[in-house]
């Protein structure tokens, strides 16, 4: 799944496809895919 963020109000939405409009401000075409955060591992202690 990807995370999309609104350029206008900053709202985020998770999904497979890019939303046509923002779920918060309803602005059309402002949702942009965010870069995936790099994981530093699983957090397990060995």
DSSP letter string over 2-46? Answer: EEEEETTT--EEEESS--SB-TTT--BT-EEEPPPPPP-------
pLDDT at 37: 62
2 bridge partner residues: 15
Gap between the terminal Cα atoms of the chain:
29
Q: What length is written for the chain?
A: 46
Domain residue extents for the chain = 2-33
pLDDT at 35: 79
pLDDT at 39: 55
Q: What is the largest CA-CA distance in the chain?
A: 48
List pLDDT tens digits, range 1-46. Answer: 899 999 999 999 999 999 999 999 999 999 999 976 655 556 666 5
């Amino acid at each position: 799944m990807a995370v999309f963020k609104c350029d206008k109000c900053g709202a985020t939405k998770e999904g497979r496809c890019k939303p046509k409009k923002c779920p918060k401000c309803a602005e059309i075409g402002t949702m942009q895919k965010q870069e995936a955060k790099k994981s530093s591992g699983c957090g397990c202690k060995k």
